[in-house]
Structure 1
Amino acid sequence: MFRKAVPCALAALVLTPIAWTSAPATAGPRLESAATRVTERPSTPMAQIPRAGRTASYLVDLRDTSRADRLAGHKAVTAAGGRVVVAWPEIGVLVVQSRDTSFLTKIRRAKVVAAVGATRSIPVKPTAIGAGVSTSEGGRGGRERPQWNLSMVRADQAHKVTRGSRSVTVAVVDAGIDPTHPELRSAIDPAKSVGCTNGGRPDTRPAAWRATTDSHGTHVAGIVSAARNGQGVVGVAPGVRLASVKVLDEDGMIYPEYALCGIMSAARVGAKVANHSYFVDPFVFWCDDQPSQAAVKTAMRRAFAWSTRKGVVNVAAAGNSGLDLSRKSIDSESPTDATERMRRINSGCHDLPTELPNVVSVSAVDRKRVLASYSNDGLGSIDVTAPGDDVLSTVPGNKYAIESGTSMAAPHASGVVALLASRHPKAGPRQLVAMLEAQARPLPCPRGDAQCRIKGGVSSYYGHGLVDALAAVRR
């Protein structure tokens, strides 16, 4: 994940150019639960102040997903001076824009509304929605080179057994993918790719989902599924397909409505795995004791729960703030779309999406299998770990580059889940995550490091351990 020293919500730290509808419920690694009850000091309020004559963006959580409530919700939004930009009927969430400074006050009076919150701290450019509402730099490669990260997770050995099945699709929910890169051309499925940055409205045109200003998504995609074609690099699961799900806008931001569209769209197109190497702007941590932020969290929890029921394993980067997520108290990086300021946070404040239920959280290790200095950690917060330092992968323009971050760790785990799904096509998310964790190789705490804790065989730094591609294909 990007730290906000870099103007982007995605998650890489270093770029070094080189010279060459619902199904039966299934659970993820942490089941969805009600909002955390906060008993410690409240978090510092950071609310959006609507400006007269300027358009603001909101998420409206309805009390129910019934047709009656959905219709009533649309009417309530209109009556309060807003317009629905996107409707997600499966989870009872509306993306709304309004120029009315009293919209929040009005819509919160509606009986059909459970919660409502602003999605950003600055005005939004009005989204053109037409007649209806949408519902749901581096060098060139040369010959393949040794990749320490593939060896660490034993993907090079796993490929002798299988490279993954083309019936398995991994959605890269990110900055878009370059579909012309020779390592990725055959893997990308245009029919399953979608852009989400036009107010959170799904857009299947290639121009909406391909990489434009940022290389991050192409780099992540290469770690998952770069082809074994004798040049450049190889992905963890080079035989699986990719869906490009673009959630990063031209300003380098990933707002809640974009992320929500990404989560829902990945499930709708039938992805088996979705990789989320980002955090949701404009807050690095979203707090339960602030109604507007809590509403966004509720919408995101609903989306991941629905995605899991549809059969998707969601994998996320743990974040690059160097924090113990189980003991955090200060956020100095929010809001990301305005002037950042120090604020107090508490246990009810969470990094989205990595701390949400139904999400596999992945920390990053270096070449020595030690937690990277930038990686977030936390007992009960981290599920598994993977290589994140100096990872070579694809970038736009038929090029390759080295990047570092938990963004690079997450797609290693996504690739291993894709291999598991290839070997076990009938397995659901609960089973796939259980296998991922059971096969991970436990790592010891660094000698003399008092911050690293182990409880019940699970580490605060590494969760269940280092992901293992070879163990995955041997089952």
Structure 2
Amino acid sequence: MAGTESSATGRYLVLLEDDSTVVGARELTRLAGIRTVNTADIVGASAAELLGAADGVVLNELGIALITAGADQATALSEAVNAPGPIAAFEAERTVYAIGDQPAAPVDGEFTWGLQATRADRSAATGKGVRVAVLDTGLDLQHPDLAGRDIVTGSFVPGEEVQDGHGHGTHVIGTSCGPRTSQNGPGYGIASEASIYAGKVLGNEGSGSDSGILEGISWAISNGCSVVSMSLGAATEPGQPFSEAFERVAQRAMAKGTLIIAAAGNESARGQGTVAPVGHPANCPSIMAVGAVDAQGAIADFSCGTVDEIGQVDVVGPGVDVHSSWPGAGYKTLSGTSMATPHVAGIAALLAQQTPERAWGLWARLAQTARRVPLPSTDAGAGLVQAP
């Protein structure tokens, strides 16, 4: 997310009250003449594709409508938020990006420093039986280190297959769910036997939209994923409210047993005295926000922090000089809160293998078992996550 800014797509998100997708669709038509289709009625088409045939699409699993609207229609729907009825929130859809990463020097050893710092190299847990969804730029399905793994894919980017033409998705999936042993370098994966659900929500150029992410979350929930990892987002300004739509979606995901973990963002320049606020959507209270530390335990210069009451860092993970898989049977060492997030997601999968707790219970275990670090909680939250 370094060097990027949040920008509107020209579409809107309409949050509907719980169990109100049908009456909500009727209200959209009554108030603004907007006719929608419901994803529960149409299988195999993305929201972007469905928008070509309608004014809006209702993501039935999440209770969110994605619409196109003119100025008068937008005004009517915005005013409806404060009136009794099924419309709970109305906001502009944002463009989101793969959280910016920074090339770093290669690493040596049997395990990456991130696996060692989180004790994943010593854990008997492997994540077997746990479904982990990683929503990003996709996955290199031919990478030899993932041969024979249980992999389910879905693309929510119109016109693009899940095959990763960018690299970011392959790197973060490698950290969360790749191998702990590799013939070509250090072991770098945490939940090495988890089921991988690779959701492409960002295009090969590294960007996407809120609607693609929401579709990916809906897909993960419907597939029973215990963990959703998102190394993506958009920058925010101090005091900027979090998205009510994403917050309610996260709450609904939690109610169905799915924990969402997201990168805090890379907008800080701590060496210059600047600490930027946690980005969207990690700044939502019901999404676990992940900051980054280096091998010495210091907060990464770029890692966003808690600067006001709106968004806070919940935990930290290894995010500097992180070695992982890369398309073309390769490897790359990168830095960013993007790299810290899959460490946390992988450890969440290890914990989920060993306990029936899900959602808030899994969040609590991640926080309670985290190693306290000599950093303020505004930078590190509960601390550095630890494998069971």
Q: Does 1:148 align with 2:113?
A: yes
**Greater per-residue helix proportion:** 2
Partners of 2:138 and 2:31 in 1: CA distance: 32
TM-score, structure 1 as length reference: 0.66
* 2:95 maps to 1:96: no
Normalising by structure 2, we get a TM-score of 0.80
Provide the residue aligned with 2:254 in structure 1.
308
Q: Secondary structure at the match of 1:315?
A: strand
Q: How many aligned positions are there?
A: 350
State the secondary structure of the residue aligned to 1:209. coil
Counterpart of 1:262 in structure 2 is 216
Distance 2:143 2:109 in 1: 15
Whether the aligned pair in 2 keeps the contact of 1:387 and 1:408 (CA below 8 Å) is: yes
CA distance in 1, matches of 2:31, 2:149: 41
Q: CA deviation at 1:113?
A: 3.3
Distance 1:376 1:220, change over 3 A: same
Residue 325 of structure 2 is aligned to residue 360 of structure 1: no
What is the RMSD computed on CA atoms of the aligned residues? Answer: 3.2
Give the residue type in structure 1 aligned to 2:280. Answer: L
1:208 to 161, 178, 187: 161
| Structure-1 separation of matches of 2:27 and 2:339 | 40
Paired position in structure 2 for 1:187: 149
Say which of 186, 197, 209 aligns to 1:243. Answer: 197
**Higher RCO, 1 vs 2 (CA within 8 Å, ≥6 residues apart):** 1
Mapped partners of 2:13, 2:21: distance in 1: 18
8 Å CA contact 2:292, 2:299 repeated in 1: yes
Give me the whole-angstrom Cα distance separating, in 1, the residues matched to 2:299 and 2:278. Answer: 21
- CA separation of 1:188/1:323 partners in 2, compared to 1, >3 Å: closer, same or farther? farther
Alignment of 1:54-453 (within 5 A): 56-63=10-17, 65-66=19-20, 68-76=22-30, 79-80=33-34, 83-98=54-69, 100-108=70-78, 112-120=86-94, 145-158=110-123, 161-165=124-128, 167-190=129-152, 193-198=153-158, 208-212=161-165, 214-228=166-180, 230-232=182-184, 233-280=187-234, 284-285=236-237, 297-322=243-268, 351-378=279-306, 381-424=312-355, 426-445=356-375, 453=376
Please name the residue that 1:52 is paired with. none
Distance 1:88 1:255 in 2: 15
Unaligned runs of 5+ in 2: 37-53, 96-102
Displacement of 1:210 in angstroms is 2.6
TM-aligned CA distance change 1:84 to 1:308, over 3 Å: farther
Q: Is the Cα–Cα contact under 8 Å of residues 171 and 244 in structure 1 kept in the other structure?
A: yes
Q: Note closer, same or farther for the CA distance 1:382–1:64 as it changes in structure 2 (3 Å cut).
A: closer
Extract unaligned runs of 5+ from structure 1.
Answer: 10-45, 49-54, 122-137, 332-348, 446-452, 454-458
SS of the residue 1:392 aligns to? strand
> Sequence identity of aligned pairs in percent?
30
Counterpart residue number, 1:125: none
Counterparts of 2:17 and 2:212, CA distance in 1: 22
- Report the equivalent of 1:463: 381
CA deviation after TM superposition for structure 1 residue 228, in Å = 4.0
- Tell me the CA shift for residue 87 of structure 1: 1.1
Would the alpha carbon gap of residues 466 and 115 (structure 1) be closer, same or farther in structure 2, given more than 3 Å must change?
Answer: closer
Give the residue type in structure 1 aligned to 2:254.
Answer: T
